[in-house]
Amino acid sequence: MSLLDLAKADHASIVSDTVSGFSQLLTLINPQGLSVVVAGLAADVGQTVDPDTGVMIVGRRVTVSLLTGPLRTSGIGEPRGIADAGSKPWVVRFADAHGNEHAFKVIQAMPDYVLGRVDCLLEAYRG
Amino acid sequence: MNVSAPLIDQLIDKTDTFERVRDEIAAILLAETTNQKALAMAAGKPANEWALNIYTERSDPWNEYLDLPETLENPDEAPRVVNVWFNGLTFDMTGSNVVESQKATAIYHVDCYAYAASADATLGHVPGDQAANMRAHRTVRLVRNILMAATYTYLGMRGVVVRRWINAIDAFQPSANDRLAQSIGAARISLQVEFSEFSPQVTGVPLELISTSVKRNGHTGQIYFTANYPH
């Protein structure tokens, strides 16, 4: 087994281990309304940004990391940011530390085709 | 080192004009948006669209909105935030005098921020970044119309304020790498205000009383000046 193969295996275990790792179950919904429950890493943390006014604004930065293999197997496809207001966006739902589920829209998807992972930047979504 | 004796004998306990103008801008915005909400309700329109949260000279009023904007889990509408702050002023010597009043031109920044979330729609969705910018622009529209209303030509300080003028409106958006779960739209209104600043004056000091009289000699016409004073 090459180092790359070893890294892929470790990486898949880290991203998908919901039993003894940091992974959790997420619901991914594509623009056609098809949904699947997949394992992934989620982060929802506070962050400040400067919108160029010189004053920092407090907000939240929410991301998820998903393995592309299970997504392809399920047939749902890989998430993308959908800019077209006439289309439905990719939506991710997952629970916070208190068990409250929140919905987010995928605004950016950045894949890693070597390790087989896609990192998604999310935005609050009402719907 | 020689230490000069103080010459200003009064406590400098007044508010300068640039401070009063800053506060007046915020007060006008608060009074008028409150009234606009009432007018909107009377017209059967959603009053929240005329609601602004107004701050002065704040660098961090946003933390209370950390969980916003509105989502299904948090249905309250995200507020729009306006921050009024003094950016600086210059003095014009040609319109001033070195003793009492100095003509000043100040720039105030009225920063308008709006949050928004992406939302589902019957056909497609409403993107959050677009919604945030639309809300920020709506805020700018409201602020601009209030500050440039004919009734506020002198910002309610006629005699002190010479004129006010919006120099520029600049829109901002966080860079792509800084995007948050809350989409943010921001714009800055640069308001120029010309007014006079006043400085402490010399206070007269009572002198010893003296009495004088002028007399003319009836024969020669010669004038005499006599004075009585303690010595």
CA–CA min distance A73, chain B (Å): 26
- Taking only the tens place, the pLDDT of each residue in A28-57 is 999 999 999 999 999 998 888 777 777 777
Contacts of B51 (CB under 8 A, 6+ apart): B33, B37, B79, B80
Residue B100 phi/psi, 5° resolution?
-120, -60
Substitution target in B70, B173, B180, B189 with the highest count of A β-carbons within 10 Å is B180
Residue of chain B whose alpha carbon sits nearest to that of A33: B124
Q: What pLDDT shows up at residue B95?
A: 81
- Taking only the tens place, the pLDDT of each residue in B175-225 is 666 777 778 888 999 999 999 998 888 777 766 777 888 888 888 888 888
For chain A, the C-alpha Rg in angstroms (whole number) is 16
| CA separation for the pair A65, A109 (Å, rounded) | 9
CA–CA min distance B138, chain A (Å): 18
Half-sphere exposure of A89 (CA within 13 A, CB side): 32
Q: Which residues of B touch A47 (CB under 8 A)?
A: 180
* Distant-in-sequence contacts of B97-100, Cβ < 8 A, 24+ apart: B99/B199, B99/B201, B100/B198, B100/B199, B100/B201
| CA distances (Å), origin A107, targets A97, B101, B207 | 23, 56, 80
- Tell me if A123 and B179 make a contact (CB, 8 A cut-off): yes
| CA separation for the pair A29, B111 (Å, rounded) | 37
Q: Which residues of B touch A103 (CB under 8 A)?
A: 71-72
Domains of chain B: 17-206 (3.30.2000.10)
Other CB atoms closer than 10 Å to residue B221's CB: what's the count? 7
What is the pLDDT confidence band of residue B169, given thresholds at 50, 70 and 90?
very high
